[in-house]
């Protein structure tokens, strides 16, 4: 009995005094790892073999890395940067992976057939619509003092709020103020790069960027209640065209489903919008979200520019986004935006006019007229019947 107690005491001592960060690698996927271990499908002490997993290209370092607070800029290079520690058996995991791939998007394939996009054998590699990209997956790594400074929040208050809102999942947030790094259990970022990587940082080359927040219903399944997939496709189109002009294009895809409120909340809001008196109106678009979720938007764009800093981007020639929040965050991060591109009118689905008109009235960029209160009242979406 005493021996077992001693083992447990020593284990807890090591856990408490030799932690270097709060949280776990893999974020929300940690739960699936735990299930695999609980079902004896995986060894709890499994150590990854990183042979041949090195990045397909090297990114950085850049001076802008000093501004980063929400990801580890060295996350793709840990096997090299920490080789002495690896050789001693220290378990260090990458938080970034970089690879190359072909993507094929049906709408872009149609544009190739129509001659709007050209097969060049380098970016669009064939008439079947295969497009060569470099892509990177990034897990979040928060440096808490830096995050607090970026957001203008007291660190003690943020730690307490994170502790409470995660159901006490991470007690070290309020007991270990010496631990400054937090691996939050949230989705990360995927980056798709079109064209020459060096053009991302070359001021003499054109650069197109779309920052896109996840929308499973539209992006994957083509729901027509919003502009997400059409705008994403348009962003890819602009990125390809810019890359074929000798520059580069970049899609930043962030896992912030339903304005970071989640898909369940989003669908509840859809129901509330469709069933309200007078129907789905642009005049009440944001009000319905606020009534259900308590906030119009939880996407926290202030941290978003860190991925641009990681890529070394200091200017964007073609910013394929109408969002005033994204534009402000990028500009405040010291990245120059030279041109903003709205979604073409012909790409807006019929039932998405409620969304886009409400957003333009709220401050979204538009090259056209801003709808007034009467326009918003008259802009009504499809009913369930």
- Annotated catalytic, 297? yes
For residues 290 and 298, give the distance between their C-alpha atoms in angstroms, rounded to a whole number: 11
Check 297, 306, 318, 340 and give the catalytic one. 297
Q: Beta-carbon neighbour count of residue 92 at 10 Å?
A: 16
DSSP type of residue 301: G
Nearest to 208 by CA among 249, 245, 252, 241: 249
Q: What region does 102 belong to: left with phi over 0, alpha with psi -120 to 50, or beta?
A: beta
- Annotated catalytic, 299? yes
Kind plus residue range of the DSSP H or E element containing 328: helix 324-332
Annotate 146-164 with b (16+ C-beta within 10 A) or e (fewer). Answer: bbbebeeeeeeebbeebbe
Check 229, 259, 299, 318 and give the catalytic one. 299
Beta-strand pair 189-195/131-138 = antiparallel
For residues 131 and 233, give the distance between their C-alpha atoms in angstroms, rounded to a whole number: 13
Positive or negative torsion for Cα 238, 98, 262, 184 = negative
124 in Cβ contact with 240 (< 8 Å): yes
Determine the distance from the C-alpha atom of residue 231 to the mean position of all C-alpha atoms in its chain, rounded to a whole number.
16
- What residues act catalytically? 297, 299
């Amino acid at each position: 009995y005493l021996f077992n107690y001693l083992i447990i005491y020593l284990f807890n001592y090591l856990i408490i005094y030799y932690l270097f960060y709060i949280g776990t690698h893999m974020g929300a996927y940690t739960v699936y790892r735990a299930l695999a271990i609980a079902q004896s499908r995986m060894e709890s002490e499994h150590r990854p073999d990183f042979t041949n997993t090195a990045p397909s290209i090297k990114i950085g370092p850049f001076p802008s890395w000093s501004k980063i607070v929400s990801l580890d800029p060295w996350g793709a290079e840990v096997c090299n940067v920490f080789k002495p520690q690896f050789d001693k058996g220290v378990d260090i995991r990458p938080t970034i992976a970089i690879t190359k791939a072909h993507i094929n998007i049906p709408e872009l394939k149609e544009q190739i057939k129509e001659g709007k996009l050209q097969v060049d054998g380098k970016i669009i590699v064939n008439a079947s619509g295969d497009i060569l990209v470099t892509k990177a997956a990034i897990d979040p790594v928060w440096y808490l003092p830096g995050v607090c400074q970026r957001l203008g929040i007291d660190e003690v208050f943020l730690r307490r709020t994170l502790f409470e809102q995660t159901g006490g999942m991470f007690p070290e947030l309020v007991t270990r103020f010496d631990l400054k790094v937090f691996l939050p259990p949230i989705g990360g970022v995927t980056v798709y790069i079109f064209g020459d990587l060096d053009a991302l940082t070359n001021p003499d080359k054109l650069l197109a960027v779309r920052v896109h927040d996840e929308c499973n219903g539209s992006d994957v399944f083509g729901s027509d209640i919003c502009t997400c997939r059409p705008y994403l496709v348009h962003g890819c189109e602009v990125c390809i065209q810019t890359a074929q002009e000798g520059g580069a294009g970049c899609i930043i895809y962030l896992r912030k489903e339903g304005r970071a409120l989640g898909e369940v909340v989003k669908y509840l809001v859809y129901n509330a919008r469709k069933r309200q008196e007078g129907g789905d109106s642009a005049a009440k678009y944001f009000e319905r979200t606020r009534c259900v979720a308590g906030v119009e938007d939880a996407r926290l764009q202030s941290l978003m520019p860190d991925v641009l800093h990681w890529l070394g981007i200091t200017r964007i020639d073609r910013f394929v986004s109408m969002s005033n929040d994204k534009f402000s965050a990028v500009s405040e991060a010291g990245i120059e935006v030279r041109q903003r591109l709205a979604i073409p009118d012909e790409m807006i689905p019929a039932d998405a006019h409620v969304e886009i008109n409400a957003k333009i009235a709220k401050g979204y960029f538009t090259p056209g007229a801003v709808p007034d209160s009467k326009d918003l009242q008259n802009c009504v979406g499809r009913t369930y019947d």
